[in-house]
């Protein structure tokens, strides 16, 4: 597998419900793996690939991202397409290597990783059971490039954002919510008095939502 990644593999033969967790700008494959013990009580397979863009954040310390951040914070379409291809290849290899329960695969993304999750889930909803976007946004330009898809109707999505986020204003999450609603997704939207982070309340919200909507949903007869 070309992308470096961390993995939490539950005991047993599986197949396991699975979370693909995508980190934000400046983090690494180790950033979100710490969520594993609380996701499905540690019983979910969690895979955290590392973005392909490396840069120095301090002396001798590298950070990673999915595409380069420019001064104007515009998204380079060529770099984004390269990241998209690398992520799709990683998923194909992961599905072949691990005992994944195909009907219970969730895309989870924080910040820049959330943009990658949005892109993949909206483009190929048939492959996933849900989407979690934390402190992230769905860029208008990206939204316009993704065709409408009937499979997105009632597709479960959790969007969580901090009202005090200094990096990605909460208005961008609110705009993203409207774009998702226009596509017919079943959105659970929450704002918390936090900055660019996952605080304990947001974490609890996510854990409960995953259980109710993806891992152990109640099926009506």
Domains in the chain and their CATH numbers?
Answer: 5-215 (3.40.50.1820)
Give this prediction's pTM. 0.95
The model's pLDDT over 178-208, given as tens digits with 9 standing for 90+, comes to 999 999 999 999 999 999 999 999 999 999 9
Please state the three-class secondary structure of the chain as a single string: CCCCEEEECCCCCCCEEEEEEECCCCECCCCCHHHHHHHHHHCCEEEEECCCEEEEEECCEEEEECCCCCCCCCCCHHHHHHHHHHHHHHHHHHHHHCCEEEEEEEEEEECHHHHHHHHHHHHCHHHCCEEEEECCCCCHHHHHHCCCCHHHCCCEEEEEEECCCCCCCHHHHHHHHHHHHHCCCEEEEEEECCCCCCCHHHHHHHHHHHHHHHHCCCCCC
Residue 220 confidence (pLDDT) above 60: no
The model's pLDDT over 25-83, given as tens digits with 9 standing for 90+, comes to 999 999 999 999 999 999 999 999 999 999 998 888 999 999 998 766 678 889 999 99
The model's pLDDT over 73-101, given as tens digits with 9 standing for 90+, comes to 678 889 999 999 999 999 999 999 999 99
What percent of the chain is predicted at pLDDT more than 70? 96
């Amino acid at each position: 597998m070309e992308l470096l990644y961390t993995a939490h593999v539950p005991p047993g033969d599986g197949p396991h419900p699975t979370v693909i967790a995508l980190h934000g700008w400046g983090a690494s494959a180790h950033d979100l793996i710490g969520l594993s013990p609380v996701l499905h009580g540690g019983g979910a397979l969690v895979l955290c690939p590392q973005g392909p863009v490396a840069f120095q954040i301090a002396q001798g310390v590298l950070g990673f991202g999915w595409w380069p951040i420019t001064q104007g914070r515009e998204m380079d379409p060529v770099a984004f397409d390269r990241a998209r291809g690398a992520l799709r290849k990683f998923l194909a290899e992961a599905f072949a290597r691990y005992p994944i329960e195909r009907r219970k695969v969730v895309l989870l993304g924080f910040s820049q990783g959330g943009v990658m999750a949005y892109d993949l889930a909206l483009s190929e909803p048939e492959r996933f059971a849900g989407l979690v976007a934390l402190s992230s946004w769905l860029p208008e330009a990206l939204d316009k490039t993704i065709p409408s898809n009937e499979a997105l109707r009632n597709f479960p999505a959790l969007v969580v954002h901090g009202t005090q986020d200094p990096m990605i204003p909460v208005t961008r999450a609110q705009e993203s919510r409207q774009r998702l609603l226009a596509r017919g997704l079943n959105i659970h939207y929450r704002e918390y008095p936090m900055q660019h982070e996952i605080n304990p309340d947001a974490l609890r919200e996510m854990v409960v939502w995953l259980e109710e909507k993806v891992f152990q949903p109640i099926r009506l007869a």
